[in-house]
Amino acid sequence: SLTHPAHVVIIGAGPSGSLAAALLNKQGIKATIIEKSTFPRFSIGESLLPACMESLKKADMFDAVNAAGFQFKNGAAFHANGQHTEFDFTDKYTSGEGTTFQVQRSQFDKLLADTAEQQGVTIHYQHEIKNIDVGREKPLLTVLDENQTSYEIEADFILDASGFGRVLPRLLGLEEPSTLPPRRAIFTHIEDNITAESYDRNKILISVHPDDCKVWYWLIPFSNGTCSFGVVGEPEFFANYPDDHLAALKQLATEESNLKVLLSQATYPNPCGTIMGYSANVTKLFDRNFALLGNAGEFLDPVFSSGVTIAMKSAELAADLLVKQFNNEVVDWQTEYANTLMTGVNAFRCYVEGWYTGEFQDVVLHDNPNPKIKQMICSILAGYAWDKSNPFVAEPARRLKVVAAICKT
């Protein structure tokens, strides 16, 4: 590989940061990650999509993830008012990996960061970005180290991979409200004690609340007999439930008949987390000397588990462009980064919006789907949202309208 004098500083060691660093390092570009916490640290976002396995392969991280003992995942199950459907991710329109994992993010993110470090990436833990000056030729970051001592670091380019920390959007005033209404998620890790033989631990289970199709639950099994369990709804919905999130979650678990049976023996040994108003947008995804990756840029909604896949895709696109740029090739960040990334994000956005109107729920839960159409939808659900040969990627709104109309008849 080429050896460049260039130095890229990356804010955050989540999946987008570790992946971008590994990909740059592989091309001989010096990559330094500044991470404010110590690892392992908790993160929400535990159900991966097969498409992100393709990103892990490019970063030489696939084998490490495969060997780590995470829960195998081969699809998604949807349940609403007694109707049940399953999507097998290996039966899809786009070629590529058809299986993946459900991961405790504390372990997964540490594994990616450690693998990047072994490959030659430098990571400074407990160092927090406090300020940035992007007005200079080379951007300058002000960092607070673990002893609360401030220092400055100069880079040729900054990648903001700070997730919900959204460091550059906040410091540079790039934040923009999301077009999606604010929603709240409450969640915990349970000992599920599920005995039902019909229950498939290899799939995420998404269930819809019987009284409100805008409210849904996730059940994400891990390989150690525990599950991540959470509920998403608009803030007003939770007003009718106990203020104590764990009590609310337990009550909600009894309101959906399938979950009520599945989780009848579950225990709740851990505290409940909550996150609210997580959907976010920005006025721009890049500038002359920085780009925003993953959640530091845009975050839609958790319903299709697309967050980590989008984060990894952004890392891949940005790393490829930086390699070209440092090789003095002409790079068009608008076309090759922002527009390309948004192809997939906008496809997901269309199906997220359709989920909450109920239209896409009808499509997903249809009991006699056209097999070819199901494969195309399955590709999106498996994370292959950048394959423009899939009509459901090329024209998401029109295709959704057509197929929703068919499902209604």
Residues at the contact surface with ligand FAD, assessed by CB under 6 A: 11-17, 34-37, 43-48, 128-129, 161-165, 167, 185, 275, 278, 294-296, 302, 305, 307-309, 311
Q: How far is the CB of 295 from ligand FAD (least distance, A)?
A: 4
H-assigned helices in 265-306? 294-297
User: Is residue 290 within 8 Å of residue 157, measured between CB atoms?
Assistant: yes
Residue closer to ligand FAD by CB (options 44, 213) is 44
Residue closer to ligand FAD by CB (options 278, 286) is 278
Residue closer to ligand FAD by CB (options 312, 376) is 312
Select from 208, 300, 219 the least CA-distant residue to 256. 208
E strand spans, 168-312? 175-176, 184-191, 203-209, 212-221, 226-233, 273-276, 281-282, 286-287, 290-292
Residue closer to ligand FAD by CB (options 45, 396) is 45
Q: How far is the CB of 118 from ligand FAD (least distance, A)?
A: 19
| Residue 313, helix vs strand vs coil | helix
Q: How far is the CB of 128 from ligand FAD (least distance, A)?
A: 4
End-to-end CA distance of the chain: 57
Residue closer to ligand FAD by CB (options 47, 74) is 47
Q: How far is the CB of 361 from ligand FAD (least distance, A)?
A: 18
Residue closer to ligand FAD by CB (options 20, 80) is 20
- How many other CB atoms are there within 10 angstroms of residue 129's CB atom? 23
Residue with tokens 């990571």: 123
Select from 263, 225, 193, 272 the least CA-distant residue to 104. 225
Q: How far is the CB of 218 from ligand FAD (least distance, A)?
A: 7
Q: How far is the CB of 304 from ligand FAD (least distance, A)?
A: 8
